[in-house]
């Protein structure tokens, strides 16, 4: 299908706000519509609610999906935009058509709007309608406070989306000047699998929990239309209809629908919009063990292409034609039809991108990295950290020996650092082995997360923006999280530091040092990374090179926990059950006899204060004794750790500071239809302008161990 033919049937419309002041149309629609998406019950249905996205000073994208029974016929209906909730001052009243070609979704780019203005919109089909609110961005020169939230990781079967309801409740209680203007979603808005660990809530005994929605029905994902794929114990989406099925299911949640109806979202993807731990168009389902080596090369170009099409249909994003920082060309572009098949990967080029034609077509079908400006003080820089990244530093087929616990978690730091440097390691003479492991990357280019073109765009955007603050939307965590002197799997094995996960920036340390050093050498200040992915809350001061003898602070990072996905702590706690007692004690301690939790998160103490401190607490259950053995050199940049968390982040930004909250909600395994998940704790951070090391934190509520 040619691009112009695709766009004609893809539910993509551009309309101008040219009817300012025109009175309402005299229909029978409710005159004071609610922002809640629970609207029509008639002939026409809007089962995934409404949404808006990518607010700019003069435009915003509106979205919905409509259906009439099970009909596949085109549906003609209207979109209306007004400056008031009663729709008495309508600025847009246009016809749109939803077709089966776009799964009956429509995306409407509304232009010629006023800056920094709240608008109300609705989609109307006969007497059925659904409403929402949105807001445009302030003018780039406006000296105004900007308020935002950021979220990620909403595994449908692992928990309810009560964090969204909590976000709505909390925002309603704020003063008008502090209420949220937009929400940043950093990815994993869907999970590509069903009936496996990604889709199951786990109890403290590490057993599946059967969740139930408000209507009493099981909170599960129904079988895929195609039957799906099945590999490595994972049942996963394969076709575009499979991925559409996931979006329809995940977006049916009423708490998320209410949030999308209330605020415009700015979204990128992470891995699960395509496949777990993805890079380019390759998946990683097959695992290895000490006794069963396996090749993990799984090219999935057709799946990647299908996933991109579904993302484009269900996410309201302004890509083609959207501009960023003046003078920096934008590469963002809408989905483009192509012929794509699965094929064996070829050798990566000098940028570590696989030039195989199907990989090029699949990755190139949609480009989502972009920047948005919000007034004088905020440049929001959204990157794509999946489409152009190189393979993980350590080939998974090499992880089937005693050095490894997992192919991509708790990886030996010396191996990751050397392998990631490729042929540049050791001054251009890479070692043949590292810790006895053959150096599979000795002839490879340096690892990359962004790819050459996106990295150039990122540097140009950061340097050219005159906004006070550059907020970098990071799908994965930027700060190093080091596991100090992790006890070996066998007593005779060497002891060394490890990194928490090789799928985050810790697995691509060379490029991370390049980017953060660029901030320092170019005197680019007031950069704050807003991160997700890791299912935990962290705060960190970012340095130019985490391996330098005297690293220099250059930025800050705030990582919000996932909306519903099982926590980082739960994964490590479950994995530790098969490990020696000394290792398990670094993860969790039964402190119930001394008034603590049966699953005390000693993991937090280990990450903040080192192995000796965590080991002392495991042995004594005495926090004072443990803290007397704290190691100030262990992850000194980490200022806050809460590994057993779900929740969201909130920030208000001015010309002098950022004040941000990392909110941890109660575990969302019970449906709470009207009053949110409940707040367990809130960590509030103040970051002063031009002073990343001046970041301060206060915690209210139930503090995470070992804070008291």
pLDDT digits (tens, 9 = 90+) for 590-630: 999 988 899 999 999 999 999 999 999 999 999 999 999 99
DSSP 8-state symbol, 567 = P
**Other C-beta atoms lying within 10 Å of the C-beta of residue 324:** 24
Say whether pLDDT at 195 is over 90.
no
600 vs 589: CA distance, rounded Å: 5
* pLDDT band, residue 405 (cuts 50/70/90): confident
Dihedral of CA atoms 667, 670, 673, 675 in degrees, nearest 10, equals -40
Two structure tokens written together for 44: 């026409």
Two structure tokens written together for 232: 């490595």
Could you give the C-alpha distances from 658 to 112, 148, 696, in angstroms and in order?
Answer: 31, 11, 11
39 vs 614: CA distance, rounded Å: 52
What mean pLDDT do residues 311-319 have? 98
Q: What are phi and psi of 553, to 5 degrees?
A: -70, 135
Q: Who wins on pLDDT, 333 or 200? A: 333
* pLDDT band, residue 6 (cuts 50/70/90): low
601 vs 538: CA distance, rounded Å: 14
Kindly report the average pLDDT of the chain as a whole number: 92
Helix axes 301-314, 240-250, angle to 10 degrees: 40
- Residue 349, judged by CB atoms within 10 A of its CB (0-12, 13-18, 19+), counts as exposed
Dihedral of CA atoms 263, 268, 273, 279 in degrees, nearest 10, equals -170
87 vs 501: CA distance, rounded Å: 50
What mean pLDDT do residues 189-210 have? 87
Which ranges of 483-548 would DSSP assign to H, the alpha helix?
A: 509-521
pLDDT in tens, 457-483: 999 999 999 999 999 999 999 999 999
Contacts (Cβ under 8 Å, ≥6 apart) of 427: none
Two structure tokens written together for 489: 């799997």
Say whether pLDDT at 42 is over 80.
no
Q: What are phi and psi of 456, to 5 degrees?
A: -60, -45
What mean pLDDT do residues 250-270 have? 97
What mean pLDDT do residues 421-440 have? 96
Which ranges of 29-143 would DSSP assign to H, the alpha helix?
A: none
93 vs 25: CA distance, rounded Å: 9
CATH class of the structural domain 1-136: mainly beta
Could you write out the DSSP letters of every residue in 252-303? T-HHHHHHHHHSEEEE---STTT-TT-BTTEE------SS------EE-HHH
pLDDT at 30 (0 to 100): 37
Nearest to 266 by CA among 312, 318, 310, 304: 318
Say whether pLDDT at 454 is over 60.
yes
pTM of the model: 0.95
pLDDT in tens, 620-644: 999 999 999 999 999 999 999 999 9
Could you write out the DSSP letters of every residue in 404-461? -SSSSEEEEHHHHHHHHHGGGHHHH---SEETTEE-TTTTSPPP-SS-HHHHHHHHHH
- Residue 9, judged by CB atoms within 10 A of its CB (0-12, 13-18, 19+), counts as middle
pLDDT in tens, 66-124: 999 888 999 999 999 999 999 999 999 999 999 999 999 999 999 999 999 999 999 99
**Other C-beta atoms lying within 10 Å of the C-beta of residue 471:** 28
Contact 256, 164 (CB under 8 A): yes
Q: Who wins on pLDDT, 200 or 28? A: 200
Reply yes or no: is the peptide bond before residue 706 cis, omega within 30 of 0: yes
Could you give the C-alpha distances from 707 to 86, 595, 598, 601, 627, in angstroms and in order?
Answer: 49, 15, 17, 11, 11
What mean pLDDT do residues 48-65 have? 98
Nearest to 560 by CA among 635, 497, 499, 474: 474
Using alpha carbons only, what angle is made at residue 566 by residues 565 and 568, rounded to the nearest 5 degrees? 115
* pLDDT band, residue 303 (cuts 50/70/90): very high
Centroid of chain to Cα 267: 8
Contact 22, 93 (CB under 8 A): yes
Domain locations in the chain as residue ranges: 1-136
Say whether pLDDT at 28 is over 50.
no
Could you give the C-alpha distances from 643 to 43, 153, 562, 565, 583, in angstroms and in order?
Answer: 46, 14, 11, 12, 17
Nearest to 677 by CA among 197, 264, 256, 262: 256
What mean pLDDT do residues 434-445 have? 95
Helix axes 509-521, 452-464, angle to 10 degrees: 20
Q: Who wins on pLDDT, 288 or 460? A: 460
pLDDT above 90 covers what percent of the chain?
A: 83
653 vs 70: CA distance, rounded Å: 46
Contacts (Cβ under 8 Å, ≥6 apart) of 217: none
pLDDT above 70 covers what percent of the chain?
A: 93
pLDDT in tens, 115-148: 999 999 999 998 899 999 999 999 999 999 999 9
Say whether pLDDT at 19 is over 80.
no
Of the candidate ranges 64-73, 506-515, 597-606, 699-708, the one whose mean pLDDT is the lowest: 64-73
DSSP 8-state symbol, 27 = -
Contact 354, 348 (CB under 8 A): yes
* pLDDT band, residue 486 (cuts 50/70/90): confident
Q: What are phi and psi of 247, to 5 degrees?
A: -60, -40
Helix axes 254-262, 162-172, angle to 10 degrees: 40
Say whether pLDDT at 292 is over 80.
no
Say whether pLDDT at 263 is over 60.
yes
Say whether pLDDT at 36 is over 50.
no
- Residue 563, judged by CB atoms within 10 A of its CB (0-12, 13-18, 19+), counts as buried
Contact 682, 537 (CB under 8 A): no
What mean pLDDT do residues 43-68 have? 96
Two structure tokens written together for 105: 């979704």
588 vs 179: CA distance, rounded Å: 38
Strand ranges across the sheet with 498-501: 409-412, 498-501, 482-483
């Amino acid at each position: 299908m040619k691009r112009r033919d695709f766009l004609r049937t893809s539910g993509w419309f551009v309309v101008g706000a040219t009817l300012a002041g025109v009175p309402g149309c005299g229909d029978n629609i409710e005159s004071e519509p609610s922002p809640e998406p629970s609207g029509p019950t008639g002939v026409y249905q809007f089962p995934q609610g409404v949404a808006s996205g990518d607010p700019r000073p003069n435009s915003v994208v509106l979205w919905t999906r409509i259906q009439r029974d099970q009909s596949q016929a085109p549906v003609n209906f209207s979109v209306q935009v007004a400056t008031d909730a009663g729709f008495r001052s309508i600025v847009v009243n246009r016809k749109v058509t939803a077709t089966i070609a776009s799964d009956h979704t429509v995306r409407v780019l509304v232009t010629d709007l006023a800056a920094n203005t709240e608008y109300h919109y609705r989609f109307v089909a006969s007497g059925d309608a659904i409403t929402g609110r949105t807001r445009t961005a302030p003018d780039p020169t406006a000296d105004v406070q900007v308020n935002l939230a950021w979220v990620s990781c909403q595994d449908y079967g692992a928990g309810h989306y009560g964090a969204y309801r909590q976000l709505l409740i909390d925002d309603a209680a704020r003063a008008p000047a502090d209420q949220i203007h937009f929400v940043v979603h950093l990815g994993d808005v869907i999970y590509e699998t069903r009936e496996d660990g990604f889709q199951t809530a786990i109890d403290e005994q590490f057993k599946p929990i059967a969740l139930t929605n408000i209507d009493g029905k099981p909170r599960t994902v129904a079988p895929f239309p195609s039957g799906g794929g099945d590999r490595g114990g994972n049942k996963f989406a394969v076709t575009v209809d499979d991925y559409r099925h996931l979006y329809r299911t995940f977006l049916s949640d009423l708490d998320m629908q209410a949030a999308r109806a209330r605020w415009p979202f700015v979204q990128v993807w992470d891995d699960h919009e395509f496949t777990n731990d993805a890079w380019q168009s390759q998946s990683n389902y097959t695992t290895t063990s000490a006794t069963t080596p396996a090749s993990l090369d799984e090219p999935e170009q057709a799946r990647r292409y299908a996933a991109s099409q579904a993302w484009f249909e269900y996410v309201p994003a302004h890509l083609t034609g959207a501009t960023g920082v003046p003078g920096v060309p934008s590469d963002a572009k809408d989905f483009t039809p192509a012929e794509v098949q699965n094929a064996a990967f070829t050798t990566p080029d000098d940028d570590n991108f696989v030039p195989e034609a199907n990989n090029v077509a699949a990755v190139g079908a949609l480009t989502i990295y972009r920047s948005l400006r919000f007034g004088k003080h905020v440049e929001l820089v959204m990157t794509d950290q999946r489409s152009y990244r190189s393979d993980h530093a350590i080939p998974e087929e090499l992880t089937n020996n005693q050095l490894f616990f997992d192919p991509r978690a708790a990886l030996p730091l010396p191996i990751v650092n050397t392998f990631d440097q490729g042929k540049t390691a050791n001054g251009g003479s890479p070692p043949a082995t590292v810790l006895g492991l053959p150096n599979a990357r000795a002839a490879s280019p340096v690892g990359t997360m962004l790819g050459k073109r996106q990295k150039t765009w990122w540097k140009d955007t950061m340097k050219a923006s005159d906004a006070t603050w550059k907020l970098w939307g990071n799908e994965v965590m930027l700060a190093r999280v080091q596991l100090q002197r992790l006890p070996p799997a066998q007593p005779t094995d060497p002891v060394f530091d490890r990194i928490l996960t090789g799928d985050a920036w810790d697995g691509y340390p060379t490029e991370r040092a390049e980017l953060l050093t660029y901030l320092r050498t170019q005197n680019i200040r007031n950069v704050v990374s807003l991160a997700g992915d890791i299912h935990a809350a962290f705060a960190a001061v970012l340095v130019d090179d985490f391996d330098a003898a005297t690293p220099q602070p250059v930025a800050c990072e705030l990582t919000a926990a996932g909306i519903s996905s099982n926590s980082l702590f739960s994964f490590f706690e479950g994995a530790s059950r098969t490990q020696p007692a000394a290792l398990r004690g670094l993860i969790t301690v039964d402190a119930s006899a001394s008034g603590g939790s049966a699953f005390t998160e000693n993991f937090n103490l280990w990450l903040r204060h080192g192995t000796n401190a965590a080991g002392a607490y495991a042995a004594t259950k005495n926090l004072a004794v443990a803290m007397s053995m704290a190691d100030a050199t262990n992850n000194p940049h980490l200022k806050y750790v809460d590994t057993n968390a779900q929740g969201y982040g909130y920030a208000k930004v001015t010309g002098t500071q950022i004040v941000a909250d990392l909110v941890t909600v109660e575990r969302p395994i019970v449906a709470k239809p009207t009053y949110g998940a409940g707040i367990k704790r809130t960590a509030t951070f103040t970051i002063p302008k031009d002073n990343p090391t001046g970041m301060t934190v206060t915690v209210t509520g139930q503090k995470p161990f070992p804070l008291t």
